[in-house]
Amino acid sequence: MANPLQAIEQLTVTTLRNVIGGMTLEDTLTSREDVNAQLRVVLDEATGKWGIRINRVEIKSVDPPGTIQEAMEKQMRAERDRRAAILTAEGVKQSQILTAEGEKQSAVLRAEGAKQAAILRAEGESRAIDTVFAAIHEGRPDPELLSYQYLQMLPQLARGEANKIFVIPSEFTQALSNLGGVLGRGGNSPPAPPAGPPA
């Protein structure tokens, strides 16, 4: 071989073109050790016939053209933006899921609380009615006492906002006459109240 160094240089250029041609640009830039190893094997096999042994091959740098570098930077920016958008969307999704779960649990707890409160109110009212009913029966009230209690309740019944018309039942006259009889027996007979319209 007249000029082995020139032949090795030409062989290196050709082999390097073949090795890099089978790789992506990203692999070429990040796998320099693999490129060095493949290049050394090919060169060592070819130069062994000439009595030259290649022990080490090292590519110092791979400098793609400016347009390729610009395209790669755009691709990397787009990839970063895409990953950021995915992470943001995942965060929003998780936030909405957690908010919905919290609202659901809150609604369930409110419903449970309202249910328990209604049950306790109903039980309390039931016990109060039972207590009043038992006290009335134990006291054995006479008709005069019942008439008095009836008269005391009439203003409370008429106090509600929904009560636009207040109808006095026919028992009202009977209640007043019973009460008048009780008061008459006590020595002080008040004047009889005017009779209301019949119901």
> Domain locations in the chain?
1-62, 64-140, 142-185
pLDDT classification of 111: cutoffs 50, 70, 90:
very high
CA dist 48 and 13 (Å) reads: 18
> Is residue 97's pLDDT more than 90?
yes
Q: Which two tokens stand for residue 14?
A: 């050709």
Average pLDDT over residues 2-17: 80
Among 37-41, 71-75, 89-93, 179-183, the least confident range: 179-183
Residue 199: pLDDT band by 50, 70, 90 thresholds?
Answer: very low
pLDDT reported for residue 189: 47
- Please give the CATH superfamily to which domain 1-62 belongs: Band 7 domain (3.30.479.30)
**Is the pLDDT reported for residue 104 higher than 80?**
yes
Burial of 198 (0-12, 13-18, 19+ CB in 10 A): exposed
> How remote is the C-alpha of 12 from its chain's centroid?
63
Q: What local confidence, expressed as pLDDT, does residue 151 receive?
A: 72
Cβ neighbours for 143, distance < 8 A, ≥ 6 positions apart: 178
* Distance in angstroms (rounded) separating the CA atoms of residues 41 and 19: 11
pLDDT of 80? 93
Q: Which residue has the higher pLDDT, 93 or 75?
A: 93
pLDDT bucket at 187, cuts 50 / 70 / 90: very low
Global pTM? Answer: 0.35
